[in-house]
Amino acid sequence: MIFFRATKYLKYILLSRYRNGHGVHSPFVFDLVSRVFRNKTDPDIVCNIETVRKRLISDRRSIIVKDLGSGSEKLKTNLRKVSDIARYSSVPVKYGVLLSNLAAEFGKPLIVEFGTSFGISTMYMAASCPDAVVYTMEGCHATAEIASHNFKEAGLNNIKLITGSFDEILPDITNTGINPGLVFIDGNHRREPVVNYFNRMAEISDNKTVIIIDDIYYSREMKEAWNEIKQNEKVSLTVDIFRLGIVFFREGIDHNDYIIRY
């Protein structure tokens, strides 16, 4: 998988463009790149969350992790150090900031996250969009317990953490009757579940909903899932920044798939 990702990253470097939005023909994408991608997140938000991350990286405890997805490539056993999970499984600050900006722009009234882990990405989204309710789902009780503690430490009260299988939890969210503003699909790196979760979210989405897929080049399966998602008839526009694939359902936009340097 490492060779696969390396070749895909090289291709991304060769094909990606519009780092600052200049030259892109779509006014919507130009605004997205120049204003949302390049916006600066409140430094207090970043400092608060990165302080939590730093504490986790220093935590030498070991916990039993229950993987309901494809598992971790770097962490091979179920007995894992908190420090290793925080270092290898949490979203990097660069993409946490982007999630924060996307949540601030598109998050209201509801943000849905598949895969909480220790809640770093959750906190970035919740902190920047305090008027939205953030539903985050986690299959492992041990990591969810630590995430819950992190949310309290960060002083975030708009997060609803639900523990269990995504398939069991999803009906409670889809039956709320609320169209999500932002959806972040992480926590599983297999083609069929990812496409299934995307389709189920697409069913309750409106034209303002944004769905983000994490690790779209993690493996051939994830690349296949991303290709299938791009072909969904509801999708009007996609943005590929290598780590993340971002999907829009906007009306009045010519369908296009952009590869943006980030």
Burial 90-118 (b: 16+ CB within 10 A, else e): bbeeebbbbbbbbbbbbbbebbbbbbbbb
Model confidence band, residue 19 (pLDDT cutoffs 50, 70, 90): confident
- Give the mean pLDDT of 114-136: 97
What distance in Å separates the CA atoms of residue 63 and residue 80, rounded to the nearest whole number?
6
Who contacts 54 (Cβ-Cβ below 8 Å, separation ≥6)?
Answer: none
Q: pLDDT above 90 covers what percent of the chain?
A: 84
Strands 237-240 and 256-259: parallel
Backbone angles phi, psi at 114, to 5 degrees: -100, 105
Q: Is the pLDDT of residue 47 over 60?
A: yes
**Percent helix, percent strand, percent coil in the chain, to nearest 5:** 45, 20, 40
Average pLDDT, the chain: 93
Q: Give the ranges where the chain is alpha helix by DSSP (H).
A: 2-15, 27-31, 43-57, 82-88, 93-106, 120-128, 141-154, 166-174, 191-203, 220-230
Contact yes or no for 238/258 (Cβ under 8 A): yes
- Give the mean pLDDT of 248-254: 90
161 by DSSP, 3-state: which? strand
Higher pLDDT, 73 or 22: 22
pLDDT at 32: 95
Which of 214, 133, 225 shows the shortest CA–CA distance to 179?
133
Sorted by where each begins, the domain ranges of the chain are: 2-55+91-259
Q: What is the pTM of this model?
A: 0.94
165 by DSSP, 3-state: which? coil
CB atoms within 10 A of CB 228: 15
Return the bridge partners of 161, or none.
Answer: 136
Contact yes or no for 210/180 (Cβ under 8 A): no
Q: Is the pLDDT of residue 3 over 60?
A: yes
Angle at the Cα of 202 from the Cα atoms of 199 and 207, rounded to 5 degrees: 160
Angle at the Cα of 117 from the Cα atoms of 217 and 120, rounded to 5 degrees: 85
CATH 2.30.30.100 corresponds to the domain 2-55+91-259: no
216 by DSSP, 3-state: which? coil
Q: Is the pLDDT of residue 218 over 60?
A: yes
What distance in Å separates the CA atoms of residue 167 and residue 82, rounded to the nearest whole number?
26
Model confidence band, residue 61 (pLDDT cutoffs 50, 70, 90): very high
What distance in Å separates the CA atoms of residue 244 and residue 131, rounded to the nearest whole number?
25
